[in-house]
Structure 1
């Protein structure tokens, strides 16, 4: 009987430990509520993030308003509206077994994705003309390690005759928490590049190669930033001189 009581006590302790771990995990799954980007001349831009549970509803910035639509836990539509011109762009996402296979833009192009058994994802961008005739713009392969996008290799199919143009972007990450990864379905949006990764991108190297008439021209650009974190290992500040998506801002502050 003593052995039975001992086993029951051990089980109760195990359950308490498991519950405690679960509560800790939930408490540290933060959602990003606001960012403030401060430019080199000191001007600031605020962006607000709105949610329904862990589903993102909208992103309200100084120049753009972005709304999101979910279907069965997956983001199936994103509409971006320019506040000044009122021009809007709609992106429709299609999935197969919860994997993104197609993104259609109202601007007249399609991104097709194919998920491979080795974890890589091949993709292509196709432009549609008024008769829905397709012209391939580029194609490439995405490489992932430990839920991070680590490399994007691309060949440009719309280069002039006799010209081979290609690009490779390599990403390095910290070991901390990327708040965008906590947004339901966000990690499926392959067109969002390194932002879908589980960790924060701290360095990117963009290499470009053009081959024409047996002549090779190459270039490489390095983009890096420095993060500061809170006690839960989420970024509270990111300082950079240049970024792939925005080469102008210097500092971004994160609020949860």
Structure 2
């Protein structure tokens, strides 16, 4: 659907947009026809970029996203179980499957996900990321490479820190380095906040979905773990 870093450049513009053609409204009524909920969902996003302009088209079933098409490039297709997204598949325009995420929940929280990348020079690659929910409202995780025999080989670990329903810091550690990502936000609603299940997706490329507001500033620091 998007590159993780590219999304930063247009989230703020989208949240301020007054163009009704770019949004769709889902209205929920009770048995008597009284409106009990009205939700704005992004329908179309135009990314204006000198190097990679693109148009994203969203399709819904109520508040559930069915797919997002990046016109001329690829599409993401979503599958739900109840209110939770359990699968995301990325396909090229000829329907060649590029990658797939499968999400597993426990107590309505993301327990782990499997990410499969297809047709690499090394064959298909599967990673598994397992989450732990901490008492201080942070979330820790470990990512493993899943070997062909099913064994797990640790790749990296990290920690997500939240404040006021926004992801404010992401620490990533592997054998060679430590990387810290820090985010600042505006006070406007994230345009993806009303898509059912998006706020539970904690994979790196989906991490902007979990925040209530829009990222306006992003800082990355890197530290090598090797001694000079």
TM-score greater than 0.5 by the shorter chain: yes
Q: Is the 8 A contact 2:201 2:209 kept in 1?
A: no
Provide structure 2 residue ranges, at least 5 long, that are not aligned to the other structure. 1-33, 118-125
Rounded Cα–Cα distance in structure 1 between residues aligned with 2:53 and 2:200: 30
The offset of 1:38, in angstroms, is 1.7
Give the root-mean-square deviation of aligned CA atoms.
1.9
The offset of 1:46, in angstroms, is 1.1
TM-score, structure 1 as length reference: 0.68
Asked if 1:176 is matched to 2:182, the reply is no
Rounded Cα–Cα distance in structure 1 between residues aligned with 2:49 and 2:179: 29
Q: Is the 8 A contact 2:64 2:196 kept in 1?
A: yes
Asked if 1:205 is matched to 2:219, the reply is yes
Aligned to 2:193, the other structure's residue is in SS state helix
Looking at secondary structure, tell me which structure has more strand per residue.
2
Asked if 1:69 is matched to 2:51, the reply is no
Q: Which residue of 1 aligns with 2:63?
A: 54
The offset of 1:83, in angstroms, is 2.2
Aligned to 1:184, the other structure's residue is in SS state coil
Among candidates 24, 28, 38, match of residue 48 of structure 2: 38
Q: Is the 8 A contact 1:171 1:194 kept in 2?
A: no
Looking at secondary structure, tell me which structure has more helix per residue.
1
Q: Is the 8 A contact 2:89 2:97 kept in 1?
A: no
Among candidates 179, 189, 208, match of residue 167 of structure 1: 179
Provide structure 1 residue ranges, at least 5 long, that are not aligned to the other structure. 1-21, 160-164, 216-256
Q: Which residue of 2 aligns with 1:147?
A: 165
TM-score, structure 2 as length reference: 0.75
Alignment of 1:85-124 (within 5 A): 86-107=96-117, 108-124=126-142
Q: Which residue of 1 aligns with 2:121?
A: none
How many residue pairs get matched? 184
The offset of 1:89, in angstroms, is 1.5
Q: Which residue of 1 aligns with 2:144?
A: 126
Asked if 1:79 is matched to 2:89, the reply is yes
The offset of 1:44, in angstroms, is 3.7
